[in-house]
Structure 1
Amino acid sequence: MLQLLISGCQQSPPEEAIKAALTELEEAVEAGDTGTILDRLTDSAVVHRGESMDSKTQQRTLVGLFFRYPKRQVTLAGIRIDTAPNGKTARARFTALVWGGRNVLPEKADSYQVDSHWVLEDGDWKIESLESERVYE
């Protein structure tokens, strides 16, 4: 019984925590929840999508995309997570398949190769930098 209690109190490995955070981000994008997305970024996060975006540009970009595509879906595939030996930084690479539109049928679909760097801040994994590049240009 004591072993069950102890194992229940242990933190999940970094890979599991980052995968859970990525699932949270997928759900937030589909729900149009900019707050959850921005909360997953460090205060000094660098997001590069064609060009680097500061935090205000990140927020405006999200709001603009959510208005333009009220119905949207995201699927993350091929997630690879490498953690540093110190257990406080990690790199997650994956392909993001995104599509959206005004109705149920998508008007636009795209796929991106994403390279993200994560840091452990106050017990929570956050994105320190993220770069995305369209798979097909």
Structure 2
Amino acid sequence: MAFALRRTTARAFPVLGLILGGLLVVAACSRPAPEAALREAVAAMEASIDARDAGALARQLDDDFIGPGGMDREGARRTAALYFLQHARIGLVPGPLSIDMHDSGAQVSLTVGVSGGNSRLLPESGQVYDVRSGWRLRDGEWRMTSIEWTPKLR
């Protein structure tokens, strides 16, 4: 019986080693890949808009963010706060993201439908935009560095 126990234990160690090694590999790979982390950052920005939180939105912008007309990070925060005050309801319907990763960052492009208003039933205004934004990985977090949008409906 002792021989059988030693033999079973001897077989168990390599199997246990493989299982533990596999768990370590999975744990090492659990950090999101850069593109997945960027998609999470875009989703967090969308969540900030849904929550009507201009401060959280601005915190996702890089320190040297530049928007349309030379808008800086603080200007973007104030503009978002103004829209949140003007419209009780803001709706976003984003299309699929197109992500172009490069050495210094990434570019994210998408088409998004935006609506706003104070009515409970129908939005008072709406537009579809082609949006292109630049992103940089800073201190382990993706930050938006630039954005531009073009209306699709005239």
TM bucket (normalised to shorter chain) is 0.7 to 0.9
Partner AA of 1:52 in structure 2: G
TM-score, length basis structure 1: 0.87
Deviation digits for residues 3-34 of structure 1 (CA, Å, limit 9, x no counterpart): 33442344211211111111111111111011
Counterpart in the other structure of 1:52:
70
Q: Supply the distance in 1 between the matched residues of 2:37 and 2:152 (Cα, whole angstroms).
A: 27
- Secondary structure of 2:96's partner? strand
Counterpart in the other structure of 1:99:
115
Query: Larger % of helix: which?
Result: 2
Counterpart in the other structure of 1:3:
22
Q: Could you list the runs of 5+ residues in structure 1 that have no partner in the other structure?
A: none
Q: Supply the distance in 2 between the matched residues of 1:17 and 1:70 (Cα, whole angstroms).
A: 31
Contact 1:118/1:125 (8 A) holds in 2: yes
Counterpart in the other structure of 1:12:
32
Higher relative contact order (CA 8 A, sep 6+): 1
Partner AA of 1:103 in structure 2: S
* Within-5 A mapping of 1:1-137: 1-10=20-29, 11-48=31-68, 51-84=69-102, 86=103, 88-104=104-120, 105-137=122-154
- Secondary structure of 2:38's partner? helix
Q: 1:8 to 1:58 in 2, by over 3 A?
A: same
Query: Larger % of strand: which?
Result: 1
Partner AA of 1:24 in structure 2: A
TM-score, length basis structure 2: 0.79
Q: Tell me the matched-pair count.
A: 133
Indicate the RMSD between aligned Cα atoms, in angstroms. Answer: 1.6
